[in-house]
Amino acid sequence: MADLTAAAVPATLIQPTAGAQSAAELAKRGEIKQTAQKFEASFLSVMLQQMFEGVDTPAPFGGGPGESMFKSFLTDAMAKTMTANGGVGIAASVQREMLKMQGLH
């Protein structure tokens, strides 16, 4: 059998290429993406709460203390769904800026 030495191993296997990303960098990018999406969902939730502030739903499908208590849950769920389906572009902008701040453009 041939003796395997360091000279027989390609340099690309020893040192990662410039385009390769480490597991830590990929994890950081994932965290940044999640944070940006959470920010967009929070922003949209506040906007939706303001939008539905003066809307009254007539009985028997709305009204009462239950509607006012749970309306914030509805707007949160709507905002998260909107963000998960592409949102309005806030998450992409925030993510891009956070990546620049971390030096990961």
DSSP for 1-53 reads: -PPP-GGGS-HHHHS--TT---HHHHHHHHHHHHHHHHHHHHHHHHHHHHHTT
Q: Is the pTM of this model over 0.95?
A: no
Q: Is residue 78 part of a domain?
A: yes
pLDDT-derived band at 83 (thresholds 50, 70, 90) equals very high
pLDDT above 70 for 76? yes
Per-residue pLDDT reduced to its tens digit, 22-63? 898 999 999 999 999 999 999 999 999 999 887 777 777 777
Q: Is residue 43 part of a domain?
A: yes
Q: Is residue 96 part of a domain?
A: yes
Q: Is residue 86 part of a domain?
A: yes
Q: Is residue 85 part of a domain?
A: yes
Q: Is residue 76 part of a domain?
A: yes
Q: Is residue 88 part of a domain?
A: yes
Per-residue pLDDT reduced to its tens digit, 84-105? 999 999 999 999 999 999 888 7
Q: Is residue 12 part of a domain?
A: no
